[in-house]
Amino acid sequence: GKIDFKGDVLETLRDHRREFVSFRLNLQHLKFFVTQWVPEIVTHTKHQDESQVRDHYDRGNDFYNAFLGHTMVYTSGVRLSPE
């Protein structure tokens, strides 16, 4: 969908986050913890780490060029003041 903000997006999210986000523990959190997190911790291996890292870094330049452009540079930033 599309969202229109009147004003600064970060301020809106900061000042009104409790209107659209719940910070209470619920049954879904418990279910995730028991069915996903605990088994991952118990059965985690170095091979899993190597596989996941290799999958990320062994992708070709064509993949990264698709969203990074010809410079192949990740960029981000947060402005804390208008200046």
Q: What is the pLDDT of residues 5-28, one digit of tens each?
A: 788 888 888 888 888 888 899 999
Query: What gap in Å lies between CA 31 and CA 67, rounded to an integer?
Result: 35
pTM, full prediction: 0.40
CA atoms 50, 51, 57, 58: torsion sign: positive
pLDDT of residue 25: 92
Rounded to a whole number of angstroms, the CA Rg of the chain reads 20
**How does pLDDT run across 42-73, given as a tens digit for each residue?**
998 999 889 888 888 888 888 888 888 888 88
